[in-house]
Amino acid sequence: MIIVKLMGGLGNQMFQYAAAKSLACMHGVEVRVDLSYLNADSKGSYTPRRYDLSIFKANVKIAEQSDLKPYIKRYTKLSRLLRREMPSLFKNLYVVERGIKYHEAFTKFPKNTYLDGFWQSEKYFENYREQIKSDFTISKPLPIELEDIFNKIKSTNSVSIHVRRGDYVTLKSANDFHGLSTLEYYQTSIDIISEKCKDLELFIFSDDIEWCRQRFDFKLPKHFIHHTYEACWDMFLMSNCKHNIIANSSFSWWGAWLNQNPNKIVIAPKNWFVDKTLNTDDLIPREWIRL
């Protein structure tokens, strides 16, 4: 059994599940998710989140306390070193992600592994791409009020623009770590796609859509998507646009990754975090443009 600790919002949970699912597929075992972190009191140090994967068709099972028991241990420095360098020696392996880069030892993790980390790279699950895409199909019908905008997206040379603000603005720890994409980033991204594609229409998604209305003066037809529905539908609509301009956000990363257009242009921020020394080479797929 592969168990993964869920942390963060929908996009983060999708990364964590996708990595665990691929490892489970590799071993022919089931995957379960540990909700203990989501259920804990954040004490104001991070944004509280809820379990969000239930919106998908994936048959996600919740880990029981009995499933977690083999991994609740105290480890010596030597055992931690061995678990990191020689994971195949262990019957039950608890793995804490180290850094942001893809872990080359991932495929050596045994069939009974607990994953603790964010696992933000498609390298963890690219061999099971179709399975992951299937699992992340929304299980509900499209809300009636979104049918017109969905049809508009499908019938035009649509470009999604995602602007992440929310706790990136209101929570100091989040702002200090993630930072915000600039207006210049979005304008330059639009210019790049405009050089390659004609008759573009912009579809703007944000958790602060009024801020976008006041500041986005792009000289192209634009639609500000103001919603009262579940946020997953923003991701769904972004994934159906022809091209994507994403924020430094796992939410819009998935909107672009799930985009099935074989000729899509995806532009992502070069600096995903405020700390520019953090190596994010494995976070952004090779074919995307980093700006």
Query: In the predicted model, is pLDDT for residue 175 greater than 70?
Result: no
Q: Band the pLDDT of 1: cuts 50, 70, 90.
A: very high
Q: Band the pLDDT of 48: cuts 50, 70, 90.
A: confident
276: which residues sit within 8 A by CB, 6+ positions away? none
Q: Average pLDDT in the 25-46 region?
A: 87
d(CA 202, CA 160): 6
232: which residues sit within 8 A by CB, 6+ positions away? 10, 52, 55, 138
Q: Band the pLDDT of 173: cuts 50, 70, 90.
A: very low
**Mean pLDDT across the chain, nearest whole number?**
87
How confident is the model at residue 273, as a pLDDT? 65
pTM: 0.88
Strands annotated E in 153-284: 157-163, 200-206, 222-224, 243-245, 266-268
pLDDT tens-digit map of 187-219:
999 999 999 999 999 999 998 888 899 989 888
Question: What letter represents residue 152's amino acid?
Answer: K
159: which residues sit within 8 A by CB, 6+ positions away? 190, 193, 200, 201, 202, 203, 241, 242, 243, 244, 245
Q: Band the pLDDT of 168: cuts 50, 70, 90.
A: very low
d(CA 88, CA 110): 6
pLDDT tens-digit map of 76-85:
454 555 555 5
Q: Average pLDDT in the 95-111 region?
A: 91
pLDDT tens-digit map of 231-280:
899 999 999 999 999 999 999 999 999 999 999 999 999 988 657 777 88
How confident is the model at residue 80, as a pLDDT? 55
Q: Band the pLDDT of 155: cuts 50, 70, 90.
A: very high
Q: Average pLDDT in the 37-51 region?
A: 78
Report the share of the chain in percent with pLDDT over 70: 83
Tell which residue, 208, 202, 212, has the closest CA to residue 241.
202
How confident is the model at residue 264, as a pLDDT? 98
Q: Band the pLDDT of 69: cuts 50, 70, 90.
A: confident
How confident is the model at residue 279, as a pLDDT? 80
How confident is the model at residue 86, as a pLDDT? 56
Higher local confidence (pLDDT), 82 or 223: 223
How confident is the model at residue 44, as a pLDDT? 64
Q: Band the pLDDT of 174: cuts 50, 70, 90.
A: very low
